[in-house]
């Protein structure tokens, strides 16, 4: 369903080519200072403009529809809306019965029995992440002084990836990447054993970001090849500091006060300019499709700010819940 | 919190050395045939006994406390309980203020302010997975004819891992591993965009299994190094069959009717017989600990049946929810 | 929190004098025909205009921001928004530190530590029910052919209440009333024992309507004075028809296929033109307040359409959940 | 579904004639002292024994299966179980296809398609309230120093009701009643506008108690006949004390610091010894039924302790949630 969180609750709505999209945030403590400027930086980071990212230009001006009064949160549900302006749906009409490989076109058509808004991916569009980023800005304020920082580790398998991107753009192809996220100064105690470990809460929301195919915490998949004697992090002081951080800051599903570290795998954008095989939903016959429109060559580049937002949302909820038993 | 699921709801309780543990399952359709025999195979798979797994011997006899009448589910909440019998808490008394590296000891003590049941890991014990397996048996019946099968891909980095296990046992050390899960004959349409993609639902419950540090769907982390033209799965027939399955059977968070495939990283068991550094919670001073008691050298070996259960639980909920809009 | 429902989920936002208010509806089956005309009648019923109801004039034009495409629901979250236009906040400035007796002013100020939007009751305003009515229109379509009809039974203790209203208006006072709701053609089986009986689901949402102080099902409080032999409804045919309907169509928390009948007590509007005692939040001293602005003399008159909406929302969720086990 | 609460979560299971019943409580703060003695008084109040209450004799010894260690809550899920011992299912066999008027027999059979446990009302039995009372004892500790007290106001329409009960017993009939609940020393701020007003939270759980047909807060249904000038409670000091308490301690869905007052209507027990009309589920033909077995003549007498428990559970959850924004 379209809501996440137990006490800090975030609901997403909108479509890529509909009139608006946005986010409804409930459980925001009253009195939090919130202004348009607070939203500017992260929304700008999310917005297109880097080499390898789509040409669609949206102002992404956040409109505060509720929950803010005199520059502060009121404690009532907080609605942030974005209008869609730079919309060109024409490329989608001719191919609306040709589900694009790698996209949600076929599954959306199947699940919603053909009633889904297919234009620009509709509700499945990466554009929806604008709402996620807006909620993340609020969440970051709630978890302060803890900080969340994500960065691209590699694109196309390389840490020096700009030439690869140019090459992929020229070829009409796209590249995947790996993004890492680090949370500092998070108190110990967040997360619950069975069934809300911190890894569960983070991965749940992270896999809602389009194009994510994997997540690993601390040593992650490398842990599968380690011995217990290598993997275990020795505890070196009373505050729980560990000599190493193979656990990624989480033991038994609960934050241990060390840095939270995890990485995610971002697949290459599904929209490519090359010819691909699909079927025509109308006729059931095989067909070729060549996706036009405006797309990213390396969506991994735009993921960090979205990943930060998603992480902050999960942490804000866990932190507020911790206060119910440990105020 | 201790419950997962929206309409098929599973709640876990119990401690490793308490009187009982078990699972409460709500939302079970009435009329499902359920007998002790149905539970025997998977509970036996979970139970110890393989080389490299702990020596603790529990009968794991499921006691049906509610929700079953005349051999069928009644539609009321279904409670399955297991008694703890082969309990020896003595090894834990002498080290109760020495948090074991890699375990939840320190975080549990911190979160619950010293009131947690520390014996055998308490509520954080892998023994709790008996309840998960019991719920999984019910879930598997609900999702039939879809089937869930998990298997160990590698232990200690090797597919031929028996000698490694013997060696680790002898050294008092432990090994990690990779487990793969495949779901066949699952209908298309399960999962929801923002915020309940099928990857989110599966990863949420999977990270509640102790010792999991990573999960990847389809091509997973390899997708980060692929191009869109390699990654995209061409659609080859009306039922959505794809030529490849890099998506792992999920597009846009929704099952596409192909096989669901994912892998998880299992860390080496934290309990090892070697000396490790920790601090004494009583004095705040550095201390050495050597974990005694009964443990697994390769918990990955016991994960498949638990992973199947967790997966089936997530899928049963998603399948029942799909019926609300697509009956 | 601001969301209700398990699979048919309704979230409310907005303030009386903010830019907008509205409702976000999730879990709407795809393909439901929905047009502005479908919303016209119930929104008009809710809007002011009857004698005894407030003079505020809002067009209440529903703006569909998401979830509708080509005149049908898409299955994605559906957002309906209303702009506030006829807003005059000036009456509230001079009295903003004087909590009005009977209103949420004092509790909102206390709960939100003074950061709440006090203008026109802010998020607590009856104006928020526009969103509820919008969601109710969708819900009514989902539960069709079942129908929900509410009507005013009495105002000021009288079934012939127009003269009383004129008198109350002239006196600057307000009147309470009783509203009855009847649901016909609802299938048997909705509702769950412990803790989601149909009475629980209905009363939960009904008490979210401002000014409701009581609810009773079937014989209700009169049942407290009946004997079992009078109260029990004899069953007279295979489809569960009962000779009487003292149960109000619900046994054991589950609809029995007979008409659902319940009544609610609506208190007189808190806003009256007479002098009342309060305290000044700034000084802590006693103060007098005389509420200006535009108000209703008998809000019970506007409750029926809101009550229908609330009831339909609860029933739509229960009906969709029933499909998970009884498709 | 069988769980209530957002952060303090209570799940009920069991059947009247099954092996056990009980309650699983999650979100209990760690360190709460809890012993068998703490449970004795309220469980004794609930247990049968007063004139007019059933002859079934159960020890109702609470068995703590998890979540308690060294006499205190651990913070892990807390399970309290009761065994059924004094069970005699024979009276139910001969009438199992004859749904008793006023009972859940017909709706349970319909909803669960004949698979429900019909013995003694199965999961719908008032016996399930033992679990509710157990959870209430924990909840009462959480909300302390606030206190919850419920008492019978009238039975059979009379405040002097003992002769009426004897008469009803002799006649094989049953009587309804009214029970009032008062909560003192509850802080202001509990409850949420849209959709979790305190009245919503309380009424939701209260209607899960079998046999409740109505609830009213403060002036309740009398408010429908009052004028605003009578109904509004003047505020007389800085802490929000009001001169009257027609609101029942709740404004805008939020506790205002005054006493919480509400009343519920309890219907007469459905089980009576007189002949009633029903249909035979096997044949579809009309039939007569005369309910044997052990029953209450005035279940209202047993409701107060259950009502206190239900109320405390709702308040504990609301109080813990309040800490998330107002710690």
Tell me if the pTM is above 0.95. Answer: yes
Decide: D85 and D60 in contact? Cβ < 8 Å.
Answer: no
The secondary structure of chain C, three-state, reads CCEECCCCEEEEEECCCCCEEEEEEECCCCCCECCHHHHHHHHHHHCCCCCCCCCCCCCCCCEEEECEECCEECCCCEEEEEECCCCCCHHHHCCCCCCCCCCCHHHHHHHCCCCCCCHHHHHHCHHHHHHHHHHHHHHHHHHCCCEEEEEEEEECCECCCHHHHHHHHHHCCCECEEEEEEEECCCCCCCCCCCCCHHHHHHHHHCCCCCEEEEEECCHHHHHHCEHHHHCCCECCCCCCECCCCCCCEECCEECCCCEEEEEEECCCCCCCCEEEEECCCCCCEEEEECCCCCCCCHHHHHHHHHHHHHHHHHHHHHHHHHHHCC
Residue A219 has pLDDT above 60, yes or no: yes
Which of residues 204 through 223 in chain D touch A, CB cutoff 8 A?
Answer: none
Interchain pair C323, B327: CB under 8 A = yes
Find chains touching chain A: ≥3 CB pairs under 8 Å: B, C, D
Supply the pLDDT for residue C93.
84
Interface contacts B/C by beta carbons within 8 Å: 41
ipTM associated with this complex: 0.97
Mutation target vs A (from D31, D75, D189, D323; most A CBs, 10 A cutoff):
D323
Residue B49 has pLDDT above 60, yes or no: no
At A49-98, the pLDDT tens digits run 566 666 567 788 999 999 999 999 999 999 999 999 878 888 788 889 99
**What is the average per-residue pLDDT within C115-119?**
95
Q: φ and ψ at A242, to 5 degrees?
A: -110, 150
Q: What are the chain D neighbours of B3 within 8 Å (beta carbons)?
A: 3, 9, 11, 26
Query: Which neighbouring-strand residues pair with A262?
Result: A181, A217
Find chains touching chain C: ≥3 CB pairs under 8 Å: A, B, D
Interchain pair B325, C325: CB under 8 A = no
More confident residue, C326 or C278: C278
Residue-averaged pLDDT of chain D: 94
Q: What are the chain A neighbours of D27 within 8 Å (beta carbons)?
A: 324-325
Supply the pLDDT for residue D165.
95
At D150-161, the pLDDT tens digits run 999 999 999 999
Supply the pLDDT for residue A113.
94
Enumerate residues 6+ apart whose C-beta is below 8 A from B110: A188, A189, A240, A254, A256, A257
At A253-268, the pLDDT tens digits run 999 999 999 999 999 9
Cα separation, C102 vs B239, in Å, equals 61
Query: Binning pLDDT at 50, 70 and 90, where does residue C16 land?
Result: very high
Q: Which of A34-48, B36-50, D193-207 is predicted with the least confidence, judged by mean pLDDT?
A: B36-50
Supply the pLDDT for residue A208.
97
Cα separation, B84 vs B14, in Å, equals 10
At D81-102, the pLDDT tens digits run 999 987 888 878 888 999 999 9
Interchain pair D274, C229: CB under 8 A = yes
The three-point CA angle A307-A310-A311 to 5° equals: 85
Supply the pLDDT for residue A171.
94
Residue D201 has pLDDT above 90, yes or no: yes
Supply the pLDDT for residue D159.
97
**What is the average per-residue pLDDT within C285-292?**
90
Supply the pLDDT for residue A11.
98
Decide if A83 touches C, using CB distance below 8 A: no
Supply the pLDDT for residue A49.
57
Question: Which percentage of chain A shows pLDDT scores above 90?
Answer: 87
Decide if D257 touches B, using CB distance below 8 A: no
More confident residue, B235 or D292: B235
Supply the pLDDT for residue C293.
65
Burial code of A109-135, b = ≥16 C-beta within 10 A, e = fewer? bbbbeebbbbbbbbbbbbbbbbbbbbb
**What is the average per-residue pLDDT within B239-243?**
97
Place of tokens 């309060």: C278
Supply the pLDDT for residue D250.
98
- What chain B residue is nearest to D109 in terms of C-alpha separation? B74
Residue-averaged pLDDT of chain B: 94
- How many Cβ atoms from other residues are within 10 Å of residue D210's Cβ? 26
Closest C-alpha among D4, D22, D55 to residue D130: D22
Decide if C13 touches A, using CB distance below 8 A: yes
Interchain pair B117, D20: CB under 8 A = no
Interchain pair C27, B193: CB under 8 A = no
Query: Binning pLDDT at 50, 70 and 90, where does residue D54 land?
Result: low
Q: What are the chain B neighbours of C7 within 8 Å (beta carbons)?
A: 6-7, 321, 324
Three-state DSSP class for D177?
strand
Residue B136, min C-alpha distance to chain A (Å): 14
DSSP structural state of residue B218: T
Residue B197, min C-alpha distance to chain D (Å): 23
At C95-109, the pLDDT tens digits run 899 999 999 999 999
Mutation target vs B (from C323, C326, C327; most B CBs, 10 A cutoff):
C323
Three-state DSSP class for A28?
coil
Supply the pLDDT for residue B231.
98
Cα separation, B209 vs A194, in Å, equals 8
Residue C326, min C-alpha distance to chain B (Å): 8
Residue A1 has pLDDT above 60, yes or no: yes
Interchain pair C27, A1: CB under 8 A = yes
Containing structural domain, residue B43: 3-325
At C43-64, the pLDDT tens digits run 999 986 566 666 567 788 999 9
* B65, B73, B115 member nearest D30 (Cβ): B115
Residue-averaged pLDDT of chain C: 94
Decide if D278 touches C, using CB distance below 8 A: yes
Mutation target vs C (from D2, D116, D228; most C CBs, 10 A cutoff):
D228
**What is the average per-residue pLDDT within D165-171?**
93
Decide if D323 touches A, using CB distance below 8 A: yes
Q: What are the chain A neighbours of C123 within 8 Å (beta carbons)?
A: 66-67, 74, 76-77
Enumerate residues 6+ apart whose C-beta is below 8 A from C323: B323, B324, B327
Supply the pLDDT for residue C50.
64
Decide if A58 touches C, using CB distance below 8 A: no
At C125-175, the pLDDT tens digits run 999 999 999 999 999 999 999 999 999 999 999 999 999 999 999 999 999
Supply the pLDDT for residue B260.
98
Mutation target vs C (from D5, D15, D175, D193; most C CBs, 10 A cutoff):
D193
Angstrom CA distances, B104 to B47, B125, C98, stand at 22, 9, 52
CA A309 from chain centre, in angstroms, equals: 7
At B145-199, the pLDDT tens digits run 999 999 999 999 999 999 999 999 999 999 999 999 999 999 999 999 889 999 9
Kind and range of the H or E element at A314?
A: helix A303-325
Residue A292 has pLDDT above 90, yes or no: no
Cα separation, D69 vs C9, in Å, equals 39
Residue B291 has pLDDT above 60, yes or no: yes
Supply the pLDDT for residue B54.
61
- What chain B residue is nearest to C76 in terms of C-alpha separation? B193
Decide: C257 and C239 in contact? Cβ < 8 Å.
Answer: yes
Residue A21 has pLDDT above 60, yes or no: yes
Residue C78, min C-alpha distance to chain A (Å): 7
CATH number at residue C254: 3.60.150.10
Supply the pLDDT for residue D293.
65
Residue B56 has pLDDT above 90, yes or no: no
At B77-125, the pLDDT tens digits run 999 999 998 788 887 888 899 999 999 999 999 999 999 999 989 999 9
Residue B278 has pLDDT above 80, yes or no: yes
Place of tokens 């694109």: A155
Interface contacts A/C by beta carbons within 8 Å: 166
Interchain pair A324, D321: CB under 8 A = yes
At D16-30, the pLDDT tens digits run 999 999 999 999 999
Place of tokens 């638990």: B306
The total domain count for chain D is: 1
Beta strands in D142-222 (DSSP E): 147-155, 177-184, 212-217
Decide if B66 touches D, using CB distance below 8 A: yes
Q: What are the chain A neighbours of D8 within 8 Å (beta carbons)?
A: 324
Decide if C7 touches B, using CB distance below 8 A: yes
At A230-285, the pLDDT tens digits run 999 999 999 999 999 999 999 999 999 999 999 999 999 999 999 999 999 999 99
Mutation target vs D (from C252, C290, C295, C318; most D CBs, 10 A cutoff):
C252
């Amino acid at each position: 369903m379209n809501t996440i969180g137990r006490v800090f609750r975030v609901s997403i709505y909108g479509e890529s080519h509909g009139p608006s999209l946005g986010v409804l945030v409930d459980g925001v403590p009253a009195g939090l200072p919130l202004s348009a400027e607070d939203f500017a930086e992260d929304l700008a980071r999310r917005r297109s403009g880097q080499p390898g990212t789509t040409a669609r230009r949206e102002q992404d001006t956040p409109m505060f529809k509720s929950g803010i009064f005199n520059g502060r949160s009121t404690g009532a549900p907080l609605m942030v809306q974005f209008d869609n302006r730079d919309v060109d749906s024409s490329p989608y009409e001719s191919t609306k019965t040709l589900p694009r490989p790698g996209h949600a076109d076929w599954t959306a058509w199947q699940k919603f029995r053909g009633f889904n808004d297919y234009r620009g991916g509709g509700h499945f569009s990466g554009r929806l992440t604008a709402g996620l980023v807006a909620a993340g800005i609020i969440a970051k304020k709630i978890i302060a002084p803890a900080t969340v920082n994500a960065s691209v580790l590699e694109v196309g398998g390389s840490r020096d990836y700009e030439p690869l991107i140019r090459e992929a753009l020229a070829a009409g192809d796209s590249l995947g990447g790996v993004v890492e996220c680090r949370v500092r100064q998070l108190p110990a105690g967040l997360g619950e054993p069975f069934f809300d470990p911190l890894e569960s809460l983070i991965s749940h929301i992270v896999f809602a970001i389009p194009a994510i195919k994997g997540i690993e915490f601390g040593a992650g998949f490398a842990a599968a090849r380690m011995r217990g004697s290598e993997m275990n992090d020795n505890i070196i002081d009373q505050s729980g500091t560990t000599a190493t951080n193979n656990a990624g800051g989480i033991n038994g599903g609960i934050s241990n006060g060390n840095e939270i570290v995890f990485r995610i795998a971002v697949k290459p954008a599904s929209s490519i300019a090359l010819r691909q095989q699909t079927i025509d939903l109308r006729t059931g016959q095989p067909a070729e499709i060549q996706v036009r429109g405006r797309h990213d060559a390396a969506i991994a580049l735009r993921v960090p700010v979205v990943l930060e937002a998603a992480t902050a949302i999960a942490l804000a909820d866990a932190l507020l819940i911790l206060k119910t038993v440990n105020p």
